[in-house]
Amino acid sequence: MQLCCNNYFNFIFLHLLKSLLMLLKTLLSSFCILVSILNGAVIFAQDKNLKDSLKEIKLTEIIIQETVRQQLGQSTLNANTLTGSQASSLGAALNRMPGVQQTAYGATSSAPMIRSLSGNRVKILQNGLSFHELSGISPNFSIAVDLGNMASIEMHKGSSTVLYGGQAIGGAVNLREQSIPAHLLPEKTRLTVGAEMNNHWGHRQTLSVSGNMGKRWAWNLGGFNQQQALVRIPGDSKPAFVYQSDIDAMTEVAAQVHVDAHWVLDKSLFPYLSKLAMERLDDPKWGLTADDVYTFDRYYMLAGKAYENPVNKDYIAGQDGNLPLSHRVVYGIHDYVPVEKGKMPNNHASSRAIHAGFSYFLKPIRFGFGYQANEGDYGIPGVAMLKKLEHSHNHNGSMPALHYDPINSQALAHRLQADASYIQEDKLLKEVLIRYAYHYGDDRELLGIYRVNKFNSHQQALRTEINLQPLVFWQVKFGWEETALNLLSDGVKRYLPSAHSRETGIFSMQHLQWKNLSLDLGYRHDWLARKVLKADGYQPGRGLAGGNLNKRNFSLQQFSSEISYTCFEKAYIKGKYSHAERAPALNELYAGNDHFALMIEENGNDKLNPERLRAYELALGAAVGQLSLASNVYLNNYQDYLYLGHTGMARSGGFPIKEWRAAATTLKGMEAEITYQSTWLKQQPWQISGFMDLVKNINSDSNAMRRWSDGDYMPNLPSSRYGVSAQAAYHKLLLQISVDKYLKQKYLGKQINPEPAMPAYTLVAARLEMQFTWKGYKLLSYVSGNNLLNMEARPQQSLMKYLTPLAGRCVALGMRCNFCISH
């Protein structure tokens, strides 16, 4: 009965989602009609005055005091910055922040990578609560967020485990979205409509409506629809070196090419011919080949007597004894499936979402409720083999004809969230926050039309925070957090069993301020449990493959301390030390079998220990007049750093076998920013800024196997880079230009064989905005371009770099219009 109710519930939600999305699409496609109707409505309602809701163009003023109040490594992107980025994924939206790059797993599937860390080490949150998404388990599952519905995004670079637990050991991204209104609006109703199209056969439409009901209620409703049918790339899909005869076996698999080759013995290296081998060459029971005839032995033994072997007439004396005995002759290199020049393979993407919420205000108390639904369908620029077909023949009659299907992902998510707050700024009890969220997800991995993996997830999260100020110089925050996840797996080739995870954490943070000196101390304790649910026919793969799928319990401690000093409100110095611990995730413990999206056979290990981190960071900054500078260096020492290591073997389908391992790792790097702001014609603002970042993920373990398989540095390390950007306003025009240079990676790891370095590249982007009035309404139109030089850009950290570069030159046209009706 319960199962029927759940299926009926999901059925109703799915069809409600599709109905609302169809309505959204209809509204947006009828944009002009909608504007006319609203115009008439405003004229008819003569007692309501239209207000201009578009703010004046202002460049953000840098105030050193505000910078000092933020903890080290924290920064915030506001709604205007996010809207101006026109990014199609969360990773792309944050990519220009120092120390942050994107995983780049296709055209629209990209997660943030903080100081070379991503996945299970970077926690994604929504309004301070765990945002359940499977990109940590598999990067093909895109983080489904509506960037147009964000009030801001908080970035935490470096360990943030005291606030958010072990999964934030490398950083955290807190999405502050607006489904639940944070305050009453100055207008009774506000409507925002937007539309965009680009030369990659892509388009996007957005709609947001919010308003007040009486003096205590506020509400919000909106959504978006986004489609991408074709992504153009400069030149070929794969780099030229994958078609060269010296390609190694691991790169061959990663680039999805078949090398039709044969090893030929260098006969000139052997001085003799084996008489015994020549006599038995035609006898099947000996299994000899023509190459077995050649030998370095002058004599052979028969019946206890030594006989001399014949001389090899092809032998060339005096050659280097270290020369290889054979060389490879390549007859041809072929793609698994044909690729098309100038086009990203299997790049289709579509996503849509709706959100709704309301809040009730009774100062100092507020409570709210929100609902969101997201649906997406994404293609990955890779293929995989589900089964073998009949054999065909190549030049030597040995090459099988294999059938490969494209890898696709589908996602459906529903999220219910409720929160309540009590805020009294001038009291001992300053703030009490209680937040709850329930998340249902249906994530699928497909080969063509075949569903090979399906994950149904049910997650609940509850978080309470209390903020006190016992004394003028002393602020205290403490809280409690509980998260529970049921992950139900299905599919003909699933690589994870159904599993349950539960996490409980208590934490406290102290802030002490004495004149220009401040001290922050934090502590957290977490209890975690991971276990496999009923197997339901799940068959672990060979190798480690999760061991015996044993239940694991972890008790983790987190600690952080930070001290900062401000000099004359013009400069600051900060130092931070953190101790952090992270428990292995479900995939690290229990994964097994082929993981098609990663194109590997993935083996977990249920005996893994938690990661332990000792992190140090130092930051300096100053603001002199209109010039501001900031820089920081960091050093992270990991014990039992968990990573996917190569075994050097491959099984059916050609997938290399990787297994989760633990070893000591050192991560260090530096970041710097500089900004100058001023005004020009008639006090119009302009700004120029620059940044650079560098990170090294170093193998500091003495384990010989790790050094053999992975080298001195971890593979797929982000490239060092520097960039400059400028923006200037002139009345109702705003121009923004950015140039980012990505250097060729010097710190290369190994994937059994040495990792190839991707070429350096430069990305140029620009955006021109213009405000204008039409029939009494204020509109914003823009034209923007990314990768304007149309350069072939293959990020070193991308797992797709052998299959496709980033998108080529993309030019987009868009318009956004706000309608505000006052009381």
769-787 confidence digits (pLDDT tens): 999 887 777 899 999 999 9
- What phi, psi does 408 have (nearest 5°)? -130, 160
CA distances from 484 to 100, 130, 318, 340, 490 (A): 29, 10, 71, 45, 20
* Percent of the chain predicted with pLDDT > 90: 54
pLDDT tens across 401-424, in order? Answer: 678 889 898 999 999 999 999 998
Predicted pLDDT at 681? 85
Look at the block and give the residue holding tokens 């301070």.
128
42-56, 407-421, 503-517, 592-606: which has the minimum mean pLDDT?
Answer: 42-56
Residue 393, pLDDT > 60, answer: no
Give mean pLDDT, residues 20-29.
41
* Percent of the chain predicted with pLDDT > 70: 88
480 contacts: CB under 8 Å, gap ≥ 6: 463, 464, 504, 505, 506, 507
Alpha helices in 78-212, H assignment, sequence order: 79-85, 90-93, 161-164
Predicted pLDDT at 397? 40
Predicted pLDDT at 91? 85
Give mean pLDDT, residues 688-697.
96
Residue 6, pLDDT > 60, answer: no
Grouping H, G, I as helix, E, B as strand and the rest as coil, residue 118 is: coil
What is the pLDDT of the chain when averaged over all its residues? 85
Predicted pLDDT at 262? 85
Which run of H or E residues covers position 368? strand 365-391
The two tokens of residue 625 are 């007049």
Most confident of 314-318, 384-388, 391-395, 758-762: 758-762
SS (H, E, C) 465-501: EEEEEEECCEEEEEEEEEEEEEEEEECCCCCCCCEEE
Give mean pLDDT, residues 11-16.
42
Residue 507, pLDDT > 60, answer: yes
What band does 10 get if pLDDT is binned at 50, 70 and 90? very low
Alpha helices in 151-217, H assignment, sequence order: 161-164
- What phi, psi does 568 have (nearest 5°)? 55, 30
Residue 31, pLDDT > 70, answer: no
CA distances from 10 to 5, 172, 384, 652, 803 (A): 9, 31, 31, 37, 37
Predicted pLDDT at 651? 65
Residue 618, pLDDT > 90, answer: yes
Predicted pLDDT at 70? 57
Closest CA to 300 of 277, 270, 267: 277
Residue 461, pLDDT > 70, answer: yes
Give mean pLDDT, residues 134-148.
76
- Decide if domain 64-237+339-821 falls under CATH 2.60.120.620: no
- Around Cβ 562, how many Cβ atoms within 10 Å? 20
Predicted pLDDT at 150? 86
Grouping H, G, I as helix, E, B as strand and the rest as coil, residue 742 is: strand
pLDDT tens across 536-573, in order? Answer: 678 777 777 778 899 999 999 999 999 999 998 889 99
Contact 797, 101 (CB under 8 A): yes
Range(s) of the chain covered by CATH 2.40.170.20: 64-237+339-821
Residue 284, pLDDT > 90, answer: no
Grouping H, G, I as helix, E, B as strand and the rest as coil, residue 253 is: helix
pLDDT tens across 32-80, in order? Answer: 333 333 333 333 333 333 333 333 444 433 333 333 345 677 888 887 7
The two tokens of residue 550 are 């044993």
Contact 538, 494 (CB under 8 A): yes
Distance CA 422, CA 361 (A): 10
pLDDT tens across 640-682, in order? Answer: 999 998 887 776 556 788 899 999 999 999 999 999 999 998 7
Contact 804, 344 (CB under 8 A): yes
Predicted pLDDT at 286? 85
Look at the block and give the residue holding tokens 């590249």.
761
Predicted pLDDT at 590? 92
Contact 784, 767 (CB under 8 A): yes
Predicted pLDDT at 86? 67
The terminus-to-terminus CA distance of the chain in angstroms comes to 50
Which run of H or E residues covers position 707? helix 704-710
pLDDT tens across 86-112, in order? Answer: 677 888 888 889 999 998 887 777 889
Contact 179, 371 (CB under 8 A): yes
Give mean pLDDT, residues 398-403.
60
Please state the separation of Cα 446 from the chain's center in Å: 20
Helix axis angle, 2-29 relative to 31-44, nearest 10°? 80
Contact 191, 819 (CB under 8 A): yes
Give mean pLDDT, residues 800-814.
93
pLDDT tens across 424-451, in order? Answer: 888 899 999 999 999 999 998 888 888 8
56 contacts: CB under 8 Å, gap ≥ 6: none
Predicted pLDDT at 460? 95
Tell me which of 605 and 598 has the higher pLDDT: 605
Predicted pLDDT at 736? 95
pLDDT tens across 207-266, in order? Answer: 999 999 989 999 999 999 999 888 999 999 999 999 998 888 888 888 989 888 888 899
Which pTM does this prediction carry? 0.85
Predicted pLDDT at 230? 87
Give mean pLDDT, residues 9-29.
42
Sheet containing 129-130, strands listed edge to edge, beginning at the edge strand earlier in sequence: 74-78, 150-157, 171-177, 122-126, 129-130
90-94, 213-217, 350-354, 619-623: which has the minimum mean pLDDT?
Answer: 90-94
Grouping H, G, I as helix, E, B as strand and the rest as coil, residue 148 is: helix
Residue 512, pLDDT > 80, answer: yes
Backbone CA torsion sign across 798, 803, 805, 811? negative
Per the omega criterion (within 30 degrees of 0), is the bond before 364 cis? yes
Contact 423, 364 (CB under 8 A): yes
